[in-house]
A and B are shown apart, each in its own frame.
Chain A
C-alpha cells in the first residue's frame, strides 16, 4: 500500500481510532474518522485523511472498481502532495494492467504464468541476460494464444501485439504490413525468433530459398517457429531439424498453400490416416465420398495427383505391400459387381485399374470384354474419341502379345485368334493415320502364320507410311527372313536414319552384316574389309562388371563379340583384340565357344592361366542369356553348353568353392533369374545347368560352409524337404550375411526369404494357371488324395509324365508323347494346358526323379487313364565326331 508517513500520530490519542482502522484496512471507517478530526484541526490531521483515501483508492483498484477508485483519486488531487499522487498513479497503471491481463486470459493460471515468465525473460534480456527454453516456450504460447493480449502500453505488450499483427499479416500474404509490424521490435527482443520465422515464411513465398534457409536455420531448435518451419523446409528440400511438426495439421497448411479449397483438407487428413494403416480401400472411400466431383479424375490438378496415387500401377513406385493394394482391388471389384459406383467416372477408373492389374493374366475374350466396356464408359464420361479408343485397344494388344510370346499362357486357340484379330483390327482402324497399331496388326498376322494377310498389310503399310521406322523395320525383318541381305540392310539404314538411337535397329543391322559374312564363308568366298568396317561404328563397348549388363542383347552388339567373330573369320589381330576386350580369359573362352557354335569354325587354341571365378560364372549366365535370346540352339548344342558348364564347375570345385564368395551370391541370383525368365522352349537346358549347379552346391553346403554356398544350395532345392526348410535356413544365412556386413548379399537373400515366406503361406492349390500349386515333391501337397478332388490322378500323372519327358527327351519325343496322349483320349486343348503345367513342374524335378518316375510307372500304362510317354532311350552321349572335328570342345575346358 502506498500511504503517507503516519508515525507522527502514533502518540496522539485522538488519532488512535483512525490509525487502528487504517491498520485493519477499514478505509471508509478511517476516512470518516479522519474527516471528523480534520474538522477540528485540518492542518494537523490532513495526512490521516490522505492516507485513508489513498488506501481506499488502492483497495477499490484491487477489487476492480476502477471508476470508484478514480473518483477517490480525483478527490485526492485536491488534498494530497504531488509525489504521493505520482506514486499512486503508477500503482494504478500496474493494477489496471493486471486487471486487463486477467480479463484477457480469462484468469487461466497457465496463461498468466506464461505471461509473467515471458515478461520476466524480457526484463532479463533487457538487463543483458539470456532467455531460457522455458521462457521461449512461454513467449511462443503468448504469440499463438487464441486470446488477445491486453491493450496496455508496456514495452512487452507492444512487442507482443506487433508480433501477432505480423503473424496475421503473414498468414494473409501482406508482406509489407508484416515487415512494418516487425519493425516495432527492438534488436534484442524475446520475440526475435518470431521475426526470423516470419521473414523466412515471406522468403519462401517469394521464392528466395537461400534467404529462407538462413532465417529458418537461426530458429531455436525446440521453439514453435522451428516446428512450424518444418513443412516450409520440406518444400525447399532443406534438411529436417530436430523439432517435429504435427503431420495432419501440416496437411491443412500445405493444402491451403497449394491453393486447394478448404473442403479438401479434412478428407485428405482422413485418407492419409488410413493410408498409414495400409487401408487403401478406406482411404479411397475417405476421398471419394466427400470429393466425388473431383476424385477420381483425369483432369489436371490435385485430384489427378490423388487419382494417380490411389490407382497407381503396381509395377510403379509404391511403399505399400501387395496385400494392401489387393484390398483396394477387392473393394472396387465388389462395387463393380454390385453396381455400387457413384458415377460413370468412378466406374471408368475402376475398369482401367482392373485392366492394368490383370494385364499378365488376360485372355483374349476377357480383354475384349474389358476393352468394350472401357471404351463405352469413357465415351459416356468424356464423349466419344476414336483416338482414345484406338489407344485402349492398342494397350490391350500390348498386354496380350507378351503373354502369348513368352509362353506364360498357352498359345491362342482358333476362337481366341478370331478375337485377337478383332482387337488388333479395332486398334488399327480407329486411328488409320497412326502406323503403330497397323504395324502391330502386321506382326500379329505374322505370328499366327497368316502370311498372305501379313504380306498385304506390309505392302499397304509400305505405301502409306514409307518412312515410318516401325514399318521400315518390319519390312527389313521380312527381307531378313527371305535372306535378302542387301535389301534388308538398305531398309535398316533408312530406319536408322529415322531414329539413330534405336539399338534394336542397330542390332538387326549387325545381324544382317554377320549373316552376310557367314554366307560368304559357307561359299568359301573372301570377306571384303568394307563389310567389317561397316560394322565398326555400330558396336558397343561392354562394361567389365556383369552387373552392369542389364540388356543381354548388348553383348551381341559388343566389340568383344564381333572381334571374336572376326578372329574366326581370319581377320588378323582381331582374336588378340577380342581377348583383350573380354572381362576374363574364361569368359572369352566361353564366348569363343558360343561364336564358334554359331559360325561353324572350330579352330581356336587358348589356355587361360588364371583360376576360374564366380565372376566368370556370372558372365557365363549373361552370355547364355544372350545366346538364348538371339539363337535357337539345337538340343545337342544345348547339351554341349551345359557340358561346358559342368566342366567349369569342376574346375571351381578343384580350386575350392569357397573362393570369391561375394560374387557367388550375385552369380546365383543371375542364374536363378535366367532360369525363371527363360523361354519354356529352352527351360530344359537351363534346368540342366541349374541341376548341375545345385548338385555342386548341395554337396558343398556342409554345416561350416560359407553362407554364400549355403545360400546357393537353398535357392536351388534338391527335394521337397529342402524347400520346406528354406525359411529358417535363409534366416540363418541372412544373419551370417548381416554379421559379415555383406550389403549386396543381404539384399538378395532378403529377396528370396520374402519369396520363401510367401510360398509357405500360399493358399491350397487351385486349378488355375496363374495360381499354380507347387509340385508335390516341392510343397508336400498330395494332389491325388485331395479331398476336394481338384486334380484327379490321371491329370497329375499326365503332368508328371510330361515333366519327366521334358526333362529327359528331345523335342521330337515330346511330339510323339503328345500324339500318344491324344490317342489315349486326351482332348487336344487339354494338352496345351498340361504342357504349361509340366514345364513348371519340370523346373524343380531332377533328372534322377524323372527317371525314377518313368521307371516306376512303366507298367502302369494300362492301368491308368492315360498312357505314359514312350520309353525313349536317353539321349546318347556326345558323339566323337564333333570331338574329333572340334578339339576346342570339350578338350578346351578339359585343361581345367
Chain B
C-alpha cells in the first residue's frame, strides 16, 4: 500500500512532517498490539523518510495492493482514519439495492 496513505500524510510533506506522522502511527499501532501493521508503518516510513528514499520509491515498480479495484477500495476505506458518513441519499440507495423485489425472494 502507498506509504503516504499508511502514514496518512499529504504528498510533498517535508522530512519533519513525515517523521511526526510516523511517530504518531507507531503510537497508534504499537508492535505488541498489531505487529503486522507496525511493520507496515515502519516500511512506509523507510520508503519516504527523506528525499532520496522518496525519489527511489516513486521510480521503482510496486506490487498491486489488491486483486481488483473493488478489493483495493475496501482496503483503502479500511485505512481511512475516520469513515465519512455516506449521506442519506447514498445510504438509502444502498439499502434499496439490498432489498430484493417481491418476486426475487
B36 at the interface (CB under 8 A from A): no
Give A427 to B85 CA distance when docked, in angstroms.
48
Asked if residues A173 and B85 are in contact (CB atoms below 8 Å), the reply is yes
Count residues of chain A with CB under 8 A from any CB of chain B.
78
Q: Is the Cβ of B102 less than 8 Å from the Cβ of A110?
A: yes
Cβ of B62 and Cβ of A256 under 8 Å apart? no
The 8 A CB mask of A226-257 against B (1 = contact, 0 = none) is 01100100110000000001110111111111
Q: Is A317 an interface residue (CB 8 A)?
A: yes
Interface status of A696 (Cβ within 8 A of chain B): no
Closest to A236 in B: B78
The answer to the question of A791 belonging to the interface, with a C-beta cut-off of 8 Å to chain B, is no
| A309 with B88: CB separation less than 8 A | no
Name the distance in Å between B82's Cβ and chain A's nearest Cβ.
8
> In the complex, which residues 138-172 of chain A have their Cβ closer than 8 Å to any Cβ of chain B?
140-141, 143-144, 146, 167-172
A588 and B92 alpha carbons, distance in the complex (Å):
71
Of A382-390, A465-473, A542-550, the stretch lying at the interface with chain B is A382-390
Q: Interface centre among B11, B61, B78, by most A CB within 10 Å?
A: B61
The interface residues of chain A, by DSSP majority, are classed as helix
Distance A247 CA – B65 CA, assembled complex (angstroms): 19
Asked if B72 and A253 make an inter-chain contact with CB atoms under 8 angstroms apart, the answer reads no
Question: Is B96's beta carbon under 8 Å from chain A?
Answer: yes
Instruction: Give the docked Cα–Cα distance between A272 and B52 (Å).
Output: 35
Which chain B residue lies CB-closest to A319? B67
For the complex, what is the distance from the CA of A257 to the CA of B86, rounded to whole Å? 5
Contact B62 A246 (CB under 8 A): no
The distance from the CB of A700 to the nearest CB of chain B, in whole angstroms, is 42
B63: min CB distance to chain A, Å: 2
Binding-face segment, A295-303, A329-337, A623-631, A634-642 = A295-303
With a CB–CB cut-off of 8 A, which chain A residues contact B74?
231, 234-235, 254
A228 touches B98 (CB 8 A): yes
Known contacts: A227-B98, A259-B80. The answer to whether A144 contacts B2 by CB under 8 A is no
Chain A residues within 8 Å of B83, by CB: 204-205, 235, 257-258
Q: Which of A168, A256, A268, A431 has the most CB of B within 10 A?
A: A256
Q: Is the CB of A276 within 8 A of B65?
A: no
Q: A305–B102 contact, CB under 8 A?
A: no
B72–A306 CB distance below 8 A: yes
**A894 interfacial by beta-carbon distance below 8 Å:** no
**Docked CA distance A252–B96 (Å):** 13
A422 at the binding interface (Cβ < 8 Å):
no
Q: Of all chain B residues, which has the CB nearest A396? A: B59
Residues of A within 8 A of B82 (CB): 205
Residues of A within 8 A of B9 (CB): 300
- With CB as the reference atom, state the residue of chain B lying closest to A267: B69
- Pick from B1, B10, B55, B66: contact of A385, CB under 8 Å: B55
* A695 at interface, CB cutoff 8 A: no
Task: Flag whether B95 is at the interface (Cβ < 8 A).
Answer: yes
- B10 contacts across to A, CB distance below 8 A: 300
Q: Whole-angstrom distance from the CB of B42 to the nearest CB of chain A?
A: 14
Residues of A within 8 A of B27 (CB): none
Q: Which residue of B lies closest to A390 (CB)?
A: B55
CB distance from B85 to the nearest CB of A (A): 3
Nearest-neighbor residue (CB-CB) of B100 within chain A: A137
B73 within 8 A of A: yes
A255 to B86, CA, bound (A): 8
Q: Which 4 A-B pairs have the closest CB atoms?
A: A316-B63, A173-B85, A171-B91, A300-B4
